[in-house]
Structure 1
Amino acid sequence: MAVDHYENFPVASILLPARLRPAVRNLYAFARGADDIADEGDADTLVRRTALETWRSAIQDLGTHRAVRTPLSAPDQILFERLGQTITEHQLPIQPFLDLLSAFLQDLTVTSYADEPTLLDYCRRSANPVGRLMLHLFGATAEQDLSQSDAICTGLQRVNFCQDVAVDQAKGRCYIPLDCLARHEVTLPALADLCRSRPTQAPAAWQAVLQDQIAQARRLLLTGSPLAWRLPGRIGWELRLVVHGGLRILEKLEAGGCNPYADRPILTRRDGFLLCWRAFCRPCPAPSS
């Protein structure tokens, strides 16, 4: 089990109430499908952009008319019919769907991020909407809930960026802020060489880069973690497992010498027992300032 892609989406989990599982499956199908349009296969950028813009028009239709008027393929028509039912039944906002699509469209042309603010803006649109939609399903939409959910979702995505440096490099992307690389005198070509050569020990400069990124991800997860202990019942359990899963990946990155291109950390069955114990009796500490 890895903390990556949309696999931190709690799809059909036994911890979710049965009444919400179809809605979560429909939300996942949308997020996963849009991400695949942006990333999977060998279609050129124009084809991907056209497909994502078609989906954006369909979402706007749902927001305006509660029915899709944009022409779609047969599979997409089924997906959007189900999504429309979920949006109507649970009175979900449209903006999170549009935010997700804007991030996937950005992935078609933006391959690196200059600094922390530009990366956080990307996370705001590519990660945070998922958490906000889940909170709407559970009726937990107070400002504090949404803010802490944003911190968890951005933190999880930052974990993924640390975990998947080599995977992203293979796609021609870098989600480590360029000013962080420059601060530790690591260049993009040098990072690409590391991902290709997969040395058994990471250079000290790269370890410093990843330690910076691990600290940012951990701070975000800890900042948002009170939400996981405040939400009642199954959603609280689900969220506690997700938060502790992200923190466990960070522990493994550090234990592995900050060397994800040689040994990409994943969560194993053994980790599952540890996470269940932590989710039951170990609230996260407050983030360090």
Structure 2
Amino acid sequence: MSSQNVIPAKAGIQTLDPGFRQGDVLLPPDVAAPLSRSWTEAEAFEFCSALTKSHYENFPVGSFLMPRALQPAVHSLYAFMRTADDFSDERRMPGDEQERLAYLNAWDRMLSACEAGRQPAGTAAGWHPIFIALKITLDTYQLPVQWLRDLLTAFKMDCTVRRYQTYEDLLRYCRYSANPVGRLILTLFGYRSEELYRLSDAICTGLQLANHWQDVAVDLEKDRIYLPQEDLDRFGVSVSSLQKKICDASFKQLLQFEVQKTRAFFEQGRPLPGRVRGRLRLELGLTWKGGVRILDKIEAAGCDVFHRRPVVTKFDWLRLFISSVIPACRKPESGDGSPADDRGG
């Protein structure tokens, strides 16, 4: 490799064109590109904000409902998650399984360096802007890094696991892929109650499951099946029939079964919005209703998710927003473990 392609090493970490090299792994060129320049803290947060706003999600993560003071922190977390998620998605990141795992391992090592504080002072030249912003967020809000590692575990599972034998196997995946997000948001707002974390886990698991059921057809195109094998066997649904998109009585009974189990998670987490205050109450209430609305749409379609993907439309969100405003104006229930300052107001 010619010397003109080598970016000077920083803090013992060497960056090379076309990607970031750490040990024996590389980051893809588009992700490594920001490493070729220095970033101020303000620029790093702007980078994360732009990345966040360029993606659409089912649920309003970092939306206008978030207090302006918290949006940079939310955007830095989202940028970290979104990039890692892209590494695990073969449609967004062409390459074999081992290459995608290598990207995730590089991201994991960068997280460890970030946690250890091995970050150059000042502009942090040579560091990825996502980790510059993330380091500040982690330190400012005292967020457990383990929750980010749990997310990386889920993304690595996405690279290697395409079938789930039991429902408990699927719930384990949800504990890594979804639950940390809710805990991070609660903690950003100053809530550190284990009871609230458990309610959040229920909602986040429900959201993840609802997404799986609306995306049965989409996931099949990627050779992924989140319907547990034990449930397929219970209703006599074969993998072959799924691949052929046969929406018969057996499949409809199967999906109805999954939808009902998912509703139980939403019911378990239902008290959460009423236990927090301000904008967070509205945000969580809207998110809860959005997840339930997906389940409603699956059932309204007769559980046929093969021929039309159930989605929450902008009109749906408007109605859900209006229906969430009045409950959000009520005082939080007692014993909510809320912080002294209302960051959600």
Fold-level similarity (TM above 0.5): yes
Aligned to 1:53: 105
TM-score, normalized by length of structure 2? 0.74
Aligned partner of 1:42 in structure 2 is: 94
What residue is the counterpart of 1:287 in the other structure? none
**Greater relative contact order: 1 or 2 (C-alpha under 8 angstroms, separation 6 or more)?**
1
CA distance in 1, matches of 2:305, 2:326: 30
Separation of aligned partners in 1, 2:79 and 2:244 = 35
Q: Which has the higher helix share?
A: 1
Matched, 1:190 2:190: no
Give the conservation status (yes or no) of the 8 Å contact 1:115–1:177.
Answer: yes
How has the CA–CA distance of structure 1 residues 9 and 79 changed in structure 2, closer, same or farther, with 3 Å as cutoff?
A: farther
Q: CA RMSD in A?
A: 2.0
Could you give the per-residue CA deviations for residues 189-224 of structure 1, whole angstroms, max 9, x where no partner exists?
111111xxxx6xx31000011011111211111111
Look up the match of 1:113.
164
CA distance 1:121–1:75, change in 2 (3 Å):
farther
CA–CA distance in structure 2, aligned partners of residues 78 and 205 of structure 1: 50
1:150-198 alpha-carbon deviations (Å, 9 max, x no partner): 000000000001000011111111111110111000011111111xxxx
Quote the Cα distance in structure 2 between the aligned partners of 1:75 and 1:173: 37
- Asked if structure 2 preserves the Cα contact closer than 8 Å seen for 1:112 and 1:178, the reply is yes
TM-score (structure 1 length as normaliser): 0.88
Aligned match for 1:227, one of 272, 275, 292: 272
User: 8 Å contact 2:59–2:290 — kept in the other structure?
Assistant: no
Aligned length: 268
Cα deviation, 1:35-92, whole Å, max 9, x if unaligned, reads 00000221211211111011111212223x22359xxxx9971111111111111111
Percentage of identical aligned residues: 43
Query: For residues 58-77 of structure 1, what are the structure 2 equivalents within 5 Å?
Result: 58-63=110-115, 65-68=116-119, 77=128
**Greater Rg, structure 1 or structure 2?**
2
Whole-Å separation in 2 of the counterparts to 1:170 and 1:279: 36
Pairwise CA distance, 1:97: 0.6
1:261 Cα deviation (Å)? Answer: 1.3
CA distance in 1, matches of 2:127, 2:93: 17
Per the alignment, residue 180 of structure 2 pairs with 129
Match of 2:314 among 243, 257, 269: 269
State the match for 1:244 in structure 2.
289
Which of 6, 16, 19 is matched with 2:69 structurally? 19
Letter in 1 for 2:257: D
Counterpart-to-counterpart distance in 2, 1:34 and 1:153: 19
- Contact 2:58–2:312 under 8 Å retained in 1: no
What are the ranges of 5 or more consecutive residues in structure 2 without an aligned counterpart?
A: 1-54, 329-345
